[in-house]
Amino acid sequence: MVVVMEERASEEQVQHVIAQLVEKGFDIHRSTGQLRSVLGAVGGNRSFDTRLIEVMDGVHEVLRITEPYKLASRTFKPERSAVSFDEFRVGGDEVIVMAGPCSVETEEQIAAAAAAVKKAGAKILRGGAFKPRSSPYSFQGLGEDGLRMMRAAADAEGLKVVSEVMDVSQIELVVGYADILQVGARNMQNYTLLRELGKARTPVLLKRGIAATIEEWLLSAEYVLAGGNTDVILCERGIRTFESYTRNTLDISAIPVIQKLSHLPIIADPSHGTGLRDKVAPMARAAIAAGADGLIIEVHPDPDHALSDGAQSIFPLQFDRLMAELRIIAPAIGRSICLEPVARRGWGA
Ligand code: PEP
Ligand code: MN
């Protein structure tokens, strides 16, 4: 941390600040210029509240140099991390796509969704069984029945499963069915849940909170990592802004920002990020062009009758087209993506 003193700060004020920093465990390197003193404070505690110094008499500005998170940072681990599954990794060179309905609704619906997304090249089936709905009167998900249906549909197609866990009490159950535990935007700051997920050995997909800064998001990831679970995938899903033409504002710039600050893989969710079906493909293309390690996309066999998020769910045909476009974009930025549509591979057999 660097403490810049005011020009008119007295020697007594400077000494007072130094004493306070030393008491908090910092080593001080002072440089005294013609106009002002600057204090370099090294060591101390990463979670030190710099405002304690900022409010002291004679202090002009306090600049934090080390990030408040550690395990999630590039400083701690300079090389990129990847989360490995049997035949692929999220965070490697290959762009990985997770797709499926917002909610698991029926056996037929999830089976049709699984077949469609697999055919187009997705590797992971998404679908909520526990749904964090804004209204308590909206469809809340099928619970364990939904998880069972989704696991069967994914297994039939050779897909992995990502599904949301909303509460500590659901972890054990969801771990039994899913390959990735999704923490929804509304739960990004549920620290009790994050701590418990740190004890799990199933990868976690951590969505960015609706009003969370990137630093808060990385601190949430830190909770999971600090618990010993190193498999964390970040997901930019749009933040709330003043804009009303879209449901959220997908913060594409968060992708390169995260990649500079952290070694963790990051994917984008253009479905919740825009809330509108016709905006999903353009934003998905943009996210991959910006360097995202993958996408999570809502695809429904009959979106107009979906029990949740129908307006932002794309048709299987639109998903096919999008995957074809991504096959052009990914190599242009040095990434690969499931090259052959799975259906085409089958034709020669
Ligand atoms: C979802 O994935 O369906 C969902 C509810 O996402 P979010 O937590 O980002 O709103
Ligand atoms: Mn949804």
Instruction: Return the percentage of the chain with pLDDT > 90, whole number.
Output: 94
Q: Taking CA 11 as the corner, what is the angle to CA 5 and CA 12, rounded to the nearest 5 degrees?
A: 105
Intrachain domains 2-63 and 83-345 with the same fold: no
Ligand nearest to the backbone CA of 275: 2
Report pLDDT for 341. 62
Nearest CA to ligand 1 atom 1: 102
What is the structure's pLDDT at 340?
64
Tell me the pLDDT tens digit for each residue of 266-290.
Answer: 999 999 999 999 999 999 999 999 9
Going by C-beta distance under 8 Å and a sequence separation of 6 or more, which residues neighbour residue 348? none
Residue 138: CB atoms within 10 A of its CB come to 12
Distance 339 CA to ligand 1 centre (A): 28
Measured distance CA(166)–CA(39) in Å, rounded: 45
Pocket test residue of 174, 183, 237, 274 for ligand 1, highest count of atoms within 8 A of CB: 237
3 state SS for 232-294 = EEEEECCECCCCCCCCCECCCCHHHHHHHHECCCEEECHHHHHCCHHHHHHHHHHHHHCCCCE
State the pLDDT at residue 348: 38
Q: What is the mean pLDDT of residues 309-313?
A: 98
For the CA of 131, the closest atom of ligand 1 is 5
Selected residue with higher pLDDT from 57 and 347:
57
Domain 2-63 has CATH 3.30.70.1140: yes
Class of the CATH-defined domain 83-345: alpha beta
CB atoms inside a 10 Å sphere around CB 57 = 11
- Cα separation, 221 vs 137, in Å, equals 31
Average the pLDDT over 178-184 and give the result: 98
Distance 144 CA to ligand 1 centre (A): 18
Q: How far apart are CA 126 and CA 272, in angstroms?
A: 13
Residue 304 buriedness (CB in 10 A; 0-12 / 13-18 / 19+): exposed
Q: Write the CA distances from 309 to 128, 138, 183, 312, 317, integer angstroms.
A: 11, 11, 18, 6, 18
pLDDT of residue 344: 52
Which position has the token pair 């034709």? 347
Q: How far apart are CA 226 and CA 129, in angstroms?
A: 28
pLDDT tens digit string along 66-101?
899 999 999 999 999 999 999 999 999 999 999 999
Sign of CA dihedral 273, 274, 280, 284: negative
- Which residue ranges have their beta carbon within 6 Å of ligand 1? 102, 128, 132, 184-186, 207, 237, 272
The C-alpha angle 92, 117, 141, rounded to 5 degrees, equals 100
Task: Report CA-CA distances (Å) from 104 to 39, 50, 147, 160, 197.
Answer: 57, 46, 8, 15, 23
| 231, 224 Cβ separation under 8 angstroms | no
The conformation of residue 207, written as its DSSP 8-state character, comes to: E
pLDDT band of residue 349 (cuts 50, 70, 90) is very low
Alpha-helical (H) ranges within the chain are: 11-23, 51-54, 107-120, 144-157, 171-175, 191-199, 214-226, 254-261, 270-274, 277-289, 316-332, 342-347
Say what the pLDDT of residue 347 is. 45
- What does the domain layout of the chain look like in residue ranges? 2-63, 83-345
Q: What is the Cβ-side half-sphere exposure of residue 44, based on CA atoms within 13 angstroms?
A: 24
pLDDT digits (tens, 9 = 90+) for 243-257: 999 999 999 999 999
**CA nearest ligand 1 atom 3, residue:** 102
Residue to substitute in 142, 182, 248 for testing ligand 1 pocket (most ligand atoms within 8 angstroms of CB): 182
Reported as a pLDDT band with limits 50, 70 and 90, residue 45 is confident
Q: Is the pLDDT of residue 342 over 70?
A: no
Residues 6+ apart with CB under 8 A from 187: 132, 166, 193
| Å from CA of 102 to ligand 2 middle | 4
Beta bridge partners, 182, equal 164, 205
Q: Interior CA angle at 172 toward 181 and 297, to 5°?
A: 20
Q: Are 116 and 301 in contact, with CB atoms under 8 Å apart?
A: yes
| β-strand pairing of 204-207 with 232-236 | parallel
Residue 317 in this model has a pLDDT that exceeds 50: yes
- The whole-chain average pLDDT of the chain stands at 96
Which of helix, strand or coil describes residue 31?
Answer: strand
Share of the chain above pLDDT 70, in %: 97
